[in-house]
């Protein structure tokens, strides 16, 4: 089942221009779709804000203002913003579409990277951020998910503007916007953000590329945030022995907990990166990260979200109000760093919250009395399948279990839009009514299906196109070239080369042979029979154009040929001959008695060349006494008329 069919936006056209074709990803603030600009026939990415945010007028205003600013940020490593608009309740950005993957995909598949690869990715990221910083922007949500790596190897930074368009700290709630694993300490404590928060996040990303794991990990977001505040990012070499000290220094400088110690912006960090690279040997740059740990992680901590700062800043325990103690206990339980509510209650054995006692009594009565009736009525009845799209199999099983449902079976399918290892669809679908304790079939994504390009050299074009389709690929553009060893009409090569892995459905370009090249002889001016003989002797075929043309050649001779003489043609290719019907005859104007200049102009205007014949007697004359073809007679256009001057 195609999950995009469940999305109400897929298939719609925004603003009468942007057709929404498929969902690519769902983030904490927006959903990204692949779309088509129907005016320009251009594939692009459409980022549509979640309805809850689109309903906030001030947010939309800031979003539009920042989108316009980012659209002016012209840098080869920044995903470009083409347009912004609204359509009903939908607020969207039209952006550059990058065919490829994210850095997160690379880390998930490969784990730790070689230092050279890590720096090759980090440098263009810092170049993009540096351009933004110098233009007055702070990204605020740098993470591997926002680093795009195109199929052509280009590295681009995404999500400029969306994060910047929201205040880092919401004054009404004291919340921090960002992704837990990459927040700088000052974002967590004060909610402030300048270019150094991007520097910090890039240091965390570099650590992750070098080691395959994040520096701070925990069972809850609060534990990770606590570590950002109180623990330095460890040296990458502690996880991957043998990594050069220069890389440890680079990570330490970028992730210093005190902002003033860090490079002041991405440009400064880029300079440090290039200095570190220059200090490393080729062997150090290409060392394999054999001891790196797995890149496995909790997807929930990779999403941009609003994080209550109360989770990260412990407050004094209240000493009076029972309700406040209960609330504080719940908050501390969420932090996993201080005492749980049970411990808090144990500290104060003499006082039991009255509301808590009443609530417990009511709950017991409900379970023993009315609750029993409810259990009896609902037993064997229906519940709804919870939404599981993009959840891991483990998360989906847990959510189904919580809903009182079982996993009937787990199936797998390829998907270009749903992340590998997460749920594509369920049967029954989300929201469907199902009997309690019944089973649900999960379909889990195996990621994009990749296909190896087959070797098609020497195959006739039709057969080669059929083999591509059979392999799950699409025949692409066909170009033709000469070949000494491949017969005409058969494939010389493919682009990409045979054995290259490509996503299923990708188009493969074909180069088809025109055959062995031969020199085309010049047969213009020859009689037709002689021209045919010369061309056939060269291995070419001949056809004669039905239309004849006037030319300087006699009637019946070859006036022109296609391909032209002295060019190259494929053996067996056809040369088209156009025969002459002789020169065009034109009436000669009478210029006798005219001045020399007037006579020459009249002849040129009629299509002739003029030649003067002065002799001795005409050296000083200026009147035409005679012309070689009398006025009123016909002569070949372009021929020369001699005028005698006396």
Q: How far apart are CA 304 and CA 162, in angstroms?
A: 11
Query: Residue 624 in contact with residue 644, Cβ under 8 Å?
Result: yes
Task: Could you list the beta-strand ranges (E) of 338-490.
Answer: 382-384, 406-413, 423-427, 433-435, 439-445, 450-452, 474-481
Known catalytic membership, residue 590: no
The helix/strand/coil state of 199 is helix
Encoded tokens for 597: 């200049």
Query: Helices (DSSP H) in 91-192: which residue ranges?
Result: 103-110, 115-134, 185-189
Q: Omega into 428 within 30° of 0, i.e. cis?
A: yes
Q: Are 253 and 242 in contact (CB under 8 A)?
A: no
Q: Which SS3 state, helix, strand or coil, does residue 568 take?
A: strand
* Helix/strand/coil percent split, the chain, to 5: 35, 25, 40
Contacts of 275 (CB under 8 A, 6+ apart): none
Q: End-to-end CA distance of the chain, in Å?
A: 98
Q: Name the E strands within 221-346.
A: 305-308
Which residue matches tokens 């682009």? 495
Long-range CB contacts (< 8 A, 24+ apart) of 69-76? 69/135, 69/137, 69/161, 70/137, 70/160, 70/161, 70/164, 72/135, 73/131, 73/132, 73/135, 73/137, 73/160, 75/127, 75/128, 75/131, 75/132, 76/154
CA-to-CA separations, 310 to 73, 219, 331, 334, 335, in angstroms, rounded: 35, 17, 8, 10, 9
Which single residue is written with the structure tokens 């993470």? 143
Residue 579 vs residues 20, 543, 563, 566, 639: alpha-carbon distances, Å: 57, 11, 15, 19, 20
Task: Say if CB 119 and CB 277 are below 8 A apart.
Answer: yes
Pairing between β-strand 517-519 and β-strand 100-102 as defined by DSSP bridges: unpaired
Q: How far apart are CA 440 and CA 429, in angstroms?
A: 9
* CA dist., res. 519 & res. 535, Å (int): 10
124 neighbors 202 (Cβ within 8 angstroms)? no
User: Is residue 495 within 8 Å of 464, Cβ to Cβ?
Assistant: no
Q: What angle do CA 436, 437, 443 make, to 5 degrees?
A: 105
| Residue 520 CB burial class (10 angstroms; 0-12, 13-18, ≥19) | buried
| Rounded CA separation 396/405 (Å) | 11
Q: CA-based Rg of the chain, rounded to a whole angstrom?
A: 39
Candidate list 141, 248, 265, 298, residue with the active-site label: 141
Q: Sign of dihedral through CA atoms 41, 45, 51, 54?
A: negative
176: β partners: 169, 307
Nearest to 214 by CA among 239, 244, 246, 195: 239
338's tokens: 């201080």
Quick check: 29 and 52 in contact, CB under 8 A?
A: no
Contact call for residues 141 and 304 (beta carbons, < 8 A)? yes
Q: So which residues are the catalytic ones?
A: 141
């Amino acid at each position: 089942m195609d999950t995009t069919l469940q999305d109400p936006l897929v298939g719609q056209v925004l603003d009468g221009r942007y057709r929404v074709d498929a969902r690519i990803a769902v983030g904490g603030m927006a959903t990204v779709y692949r779309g088509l600009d129907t005016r320009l026939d251009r594939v692009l990415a459409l980022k549509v804000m979640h309805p809850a945010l689109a309903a906030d007028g001030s947010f939309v205003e800031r979003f539009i203002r920042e989108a316009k600013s980012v659209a002016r940020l012209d840098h080869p490593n920044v995903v470009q913003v083409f347009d912004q608009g609204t359509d009903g309740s939908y607020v969207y950005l039209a952006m550059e579409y990058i065919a490829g993957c994210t850095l997160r995909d690379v880390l998930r598949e490969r784990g730790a990277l070689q230092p050279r690869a890590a720096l090759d990715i980090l440098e263009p990221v810092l170049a993009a951020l540096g351009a933004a910083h110098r233009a007055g922007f702070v990204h605020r949500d740098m993470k591997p998910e926002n680093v795009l790596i195109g199929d052509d190897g280009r590295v681009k930074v995404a999500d400029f503007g969306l994060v910047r368009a929201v205040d880092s700290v919401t004054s009404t709630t004291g919340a921090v916007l960002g992704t837990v694993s990459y927040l700088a300490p000052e974002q967590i404590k004060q909610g402030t953000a300048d270019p150094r928060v991007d520097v910090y996040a890039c240091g965390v990303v570099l650590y992750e590329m070098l080691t395959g794991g994040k520096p701070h990990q925990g069972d809850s977001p609060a534990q990770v945030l606590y570590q950002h505040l109180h623990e330095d990012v460890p040296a990458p070499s502690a996880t991957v022995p043998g990594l050069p000290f220069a890389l440890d220094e680079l990570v330490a400088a970028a992730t210093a907990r005190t902002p003033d110690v860090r490079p002041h912006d991405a440009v400064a960090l880029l300079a440090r990166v290039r200095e570190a690279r220059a200090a490393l040997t080729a062997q150090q740059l290409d060392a394999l990260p054999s001891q790196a740990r797995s890149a496995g992680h909790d997807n929930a901590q990779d999403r941009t979200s609003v994080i209550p700062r109360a989770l990260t800043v412990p407050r004094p325990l209240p000493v009076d109000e029972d309700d406040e103690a209960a609330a504080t206990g719940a908050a501390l339980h969420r932090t996993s760093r201080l005492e749980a509510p049970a411990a808090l209650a144990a500290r104060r054995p003499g006082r039991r919250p009255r509301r808590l006692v009443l609530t417990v009594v009511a709950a017991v009565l409900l379970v023993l009395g009315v609750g029993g009736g409810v259990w009896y009525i609902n037993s064997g009845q229906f519940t709804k399948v919870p939404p599981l799209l993009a959840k891991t199999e483990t998360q989906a099983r847990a959510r189904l279990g919580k809903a009182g449902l079982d996993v009937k079976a787990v199936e797998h399918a390829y998907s270009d839009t749903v992340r590998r290892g997460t749920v594509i669809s369920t049967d029954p679908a989300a929201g469907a009514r199902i009997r309690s304790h019944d089973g649900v079939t999960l379909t889990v994504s195996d990621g994009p299906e990749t296909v190896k390009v087959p070797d098609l050299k020497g195959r006739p074009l039709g057969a080669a196109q059929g083999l591509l389709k059979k392999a799950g690929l699409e025949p692409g553009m066909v170009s033709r070239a000469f070949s000494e060893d491949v017969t005409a009409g058969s494939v010389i090569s493919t682009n990409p080369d045979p054995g290259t892995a490509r996503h299923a459905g990708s188009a493969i370009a074909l180069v088809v042979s025109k055959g062995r090249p031969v020199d085309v002889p010049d047969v213009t001016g020859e009689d037709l029979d002689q021209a045919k003989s010369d061309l056939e002797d060269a291995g070419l075929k001949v056809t004669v154009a039905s239309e004849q043309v006037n030319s300087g050649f006699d009637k019946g001779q070859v006036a022109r040929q296609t391909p032209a003489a002295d060019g190259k043609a494929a053996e067996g290719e056809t040369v088209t001959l156009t025969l002459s019907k002789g020169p065009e005859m034109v009436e000669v104007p009478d210029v006798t008695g005219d001045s020399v200049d007037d006579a020459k102009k009249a002849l040129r205007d009629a299509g002739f060349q003029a030649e003067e014949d002065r002799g001795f007697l005409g050296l000083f004359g200026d009147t035409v006494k005679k012309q070689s073809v009398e006025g009123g007679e016909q002569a070949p256009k372009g021929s020369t008329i001699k005028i005698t001057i006396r």
